[in-house]
Amino acid sequence: MKRSELVTYLDAYLEVASFEGIDRSMNSLVVGPLDREVHTVAFAVDACQAVFEGAIEAGADLLVVHHGLFWGQPLAVCGPHYTRLKTLIEGNLDVYAAHLPLDAHSEVGNNITIARKLGLQDIQGFAEHKGRMLGFKGTLADGRSAEWISARLGFKNPLILPFGDEVIHRVGIVSGGASSDVLAALSDGLDCFITGEFEHQYYHDAAEGGITVIAGGHYVTETFGPLALMEHIRETFSLNVVFVANPTGL
């Protein structure tokens, strides 16, 4: 299909325009020549050299990432940034970025996908950011332990701060680096807050508030959205798709 058709679809499906002025990331198509045919689409978490090389090796025409190349300020085309752009241009690989749109999305977003993986019930929006809810919260009807939750989500070496009840029912989720949203979890009376990485400065809020925190890793918690979006594109269009894994351990 034409790349322009796919970009138009992604922009509308992910509601990219509604995040303008909210998201530091430059979203939508960020690298690419004039319109062309797209046959294979790669998906990944990060726009980085290793991912670019993997996508090119897989024969991708377009790469869709969660963490893009441009973050709200001019960036000189020097050093690693020069090498990345050179690789993209020479490898004929276009890049599409979806940062907050792929956190907040109610069907294929990082947070809703984690919520459904856990089997949460009564799922609602959670953790407001500049007028938009980025996360989701819900209830584990049977009650589970932090260890069960971590295993269910595939967290290998999670940071668990077990300050809440051993049996967890009410859960809030914001993937990536969202430590401050533990305050929203406390305000909402949740038992557990799940994120990617957790900052020292919020440790005492969690401890004194009596809430369990599970930090499964920034990278790991933000694979859920790209993988879900990849499956959606596979099912919706006659395109080849591939996920380019590049775990950081962080």
Tokens matching residue 189: 């009376």
Q: Is the dihedral of CA 198, 113, 102, 244 positive or negative?
A: positive
Q: What is the rounded distance in angstroms from the CA atom of residue 189 to the CA atom of residue 185?
A: 6
> What domains appear along the chain, each with residue ranges and CATH number?
3-100 (3.40.1390.30), 105-218 (3.40.1390.30)
**Average pLDDT of span 157-180:** 97
Residue with tokens 């996920």: 243
Q: What percent of the chain has pLDDT over 70?
A: 100
Q: Are 97 and 68 in contact (CB under 8 A)?
A: yes
The whole-number pLDDT of residue 92 equals: 97
From residue 217, give the alpha-carbon distance in Å to each of 113, 159, 194, 199, 227: 16, 8, 10, 12, 16
Mean pLDDT (whole number) for 237-249 = 96
How many angstroms from the chain centroid is the CA of residue 65? 9
Mean pLDDT of 149-159: 97
- Average pLDDT of span 172-195: 98
Label residue 238 by pLDDT band (50, 70, 90). Answer: confident
Model confidence over 29-75: pLDDT tens digits?
999 999 999 999 999 999 999 999 999 999 999 999 999 999 988 88
pLDDT tens digits for 101-124? 999 999 999 999 999 999 999 999
Predicted structure pTM score: 0.96
Sign, CA dihedral 104-107-109-112, equals positive
Mean pLDDT of 80-87: 97
Backbone dihedral angles phi then psi of residue 228, each to the nearest 5 degrees: -70, -40
Please give the mean pLDDT across all residues of the chain: 97
Q: Is the pLDDT of residue 93 over 90?
A: yes
